[in-house]
Chain A
């Protein structure tokens, strides 16, 4: 899958957040998208999936050459896109098993769905993610700790095997062990058929996920892109370096809206 973002502009209510994003990503590649709070990273992932609170004011998003901006969220998902949410919502009364079964049926086709194989695979990924088997019968995200919610997102990604995943700050709030498990989940899928954009503002997770490309976002634009070495530069010099490089005034940051 080829995901191309061209000149993308978007706003929430009257506040512009994305001011012209250009990014080209493909299955087989892992991209890291870094940037301080409020730079628009989460907005970008929400806009890729068509969150109703955001309005696209310019540009396009193409999947294998087809513009997806007119598509409903579920249609985009059915192309093979997946988002690991920063703040997964609770869905009371809907068990993880029931929810994932339905999502898998949609992803792989109802005709080819085999319940026994599904359960077997779900159980093995739960073990892999170091999660208790009883999660299958728990209500989705209800009463989960922050770390459990993040693992549940990665578990879903492992089950649904997207062509391209957007992971929105899956690392934030995780201790080092959980971080490693989450990174292992992504590495498990790594290969020609899977690509991801890993959004983070810490370099920590990138020690475990070796990204092929790194992009730094600031105030709604990609200010610089490079290889893995960009992470080290950023770690040494901090975001101040980025600001100075690009002549950005710090105090303006307040007007930027983080969803």
Chain B
């Protein structure tokens, strides 16, 4: 075990520590066919997956960078490590996980959380899942919770049926990139009628410098089933940029419900460019709770495609744009069937020159009836240097449709601060209380321990905010 720990300036970011890079295998910097082959070889993949990766690489090269949203011109694709294997194998007991890696997760509180309130945990360190465990009871019911590599080997039929169907590699440049070099992530399958009452959690951790993390998650909820999947992310603070570009696909079959919650708290040098999409079939529900703190630029718009009658989509987006940060987040719901409904709620906060933008789309295909959608965006701007933008797109091709859109921008008023400070709170505490209050209606919908965590993160973000 290595006890030597490099001290980095972590400022307010509690997870800014890192351990020495002890990967057992790492590709060269930059991206080419050889890197793809190396990844595929290491994973011992079938040819169809190797082909999928190579096709994706072609698409990635052909696609231009997005010319909207955040400024991504600083990303140097040649200066990134695309694959780093942290250990020889994956473990199902924390005691077996290599010491430095286990220590990292101890510091993040993951093993404890698993004991307390999770049905299963997957932990990823750089490119690979290093730990996966699921309660025996769920295993017995046929629930699968593993990494996608294992799923490719052990459940090839399920993987081939759904992998890349919700988000094809041609969807956008970063989905193509992920499809080419994906590594780690989660594969979840819930059999018909099975309700997983406690959340499954995956925790993604970047440890290496100049690293790209490209996890790939596929969740399949079979008919009438339910699962709540929770994702957490952190990275050390390095002076150079890291790239996190995940793809998350959710399939909710007839009558199923999938809830996906994430509070992402990347360090301030991570580009967070993630494609998340769910499809909801007849009477199915897909819900995204997406909290974005930290990172340098985030571009993320979880979406729900409503494919069958009675389907419902719900997106709650929370973004905090602090100093030097740009959160370009929102949601998208595409109604492809009659009698479908969707709700998008966005709450954003910007501070110290940060930018928080809501970007969302509601699309209703032609010939549909009784489609309802409600979009609500609230922005709170904490100082004159900070910015909030709203870009709502509506693409409505049917008549029997009820669409509501509300947008509000507010500032912390002098009167609110005066009121709270007259009760003895200093200005920083008063501002934090107002910010937490602004988020409260959303936070209430998070599982208790995440609500507490989010409140704590907001307090950290607010520290030193009043000069």
What is A's interface to B at a CB cutoff of 8 Å? Answer: 49, 51-53, 72-74, 76-78, 82-83, 85, 88-89, 91-94, 99, 102-103, 106-107, 139, 156, 160
Contact = CB atoms under 8 A, between A and B. Distances in A.
A48 to B, nearest CB: 10
Given A49-B422, A93-B434, A102-B429, 8 more contacts: A52-B418, A72-B427, A74-B426, A74-B427, A88-B419, A91-B437, A94-B433, A94-B434
Interface in B399-451: 413-416, 418-427, 429-430, 433-434, 436-441
25 contacts: A49-B422, A52-B414, A53-B414, A72-B421, A72-B426, A73-B421, A74-B421, A74-B427, A77-B424, A82-B422, A85-B422, A89-B415, A89-B416, A91-B419, A92-B437, A92-B438, A93-B437, A93-B438, A93-B439, A93-B441, A94-B436, A102-B429, A103-B423, A103-B424, A106-B425
Contact of B433 (A73, A82, A89, A91): A91
A77 B423 contact: yes
Contacts of B427: 72, 74
Nearest to B378: A92
A1 B189 CA distance: 68
B437 A106 contact: no
Nearest to A52: B414
A72 B426 CA distance: 8
A77 B421 contact: yes
A85 B423 CA distance: 11
A94 B419 CA distance: 13
Nearest to B430: A74
Given A52-B414, A74-B427, A93 B436 contact: yes
A49 B415 CA distance: 12
A51 B417 CA distance: 10
B438 A74 contact: no
A85 B439 CA distance: 26
A77 B423 CA distance: 6
B434 A91 contact: yes
Interface of B: 413-416, 418-427, 429-430, 433-434, 436-441
Contacts of B414: 52-53
B424 A107 contact: yes
Nearest to B418: A51
Contacts of B415: 89
B346 to A, nearest CB: 15
A89 B414 CA distance: 10
A91 B420 contact: yes
Q: Is the interface of B mostly helix, strand, loop or mixed?
A: helix
Contacts of A139: 437, 440
B427 to A, nearest CB: 7
Nearest to A77: B424
A89 B437 contact: no
Contacts of B434: 91, 93-94
Given A49-B418, A53-B414, A102-B433, A94 B440 contact: yes
A85 B413 CA distance: 16
A99 B421 CA distance: 12
A99 B436 CA distance: 12
Nearest to B435: A93
Nearest to B414: A52
Given A72-B426, A77-B422, A103-B423, A91 B436 contact: no
B425 A102 contact: yes
A94 B416 CA distance: 12
A47 to B, nearest CB: 12
A73 B440 contact: no
Nearest to B415: A89
A221 B439 CA distance: 45
Contacts of A103: 423-425
B424 A94 contact: no
B124 to A, nearest CB: 34
A156 B423 contact: yes
Contacts of A74: 421-422, 424-427, 430
A71 to B, nearest CB: 11
Nearest to A105: B424
B424 A78 contact: yes
A104 to B, nearest CB: 9
A64 B31 CA distance: 73
Given A89-B413, A94-B433, A106 B423 contact: yes
A244 B440 CA distance: 55
Nearest to B442: A93
Contacts of A156: 423
Contacts of B433: 91, 94, 99, 102
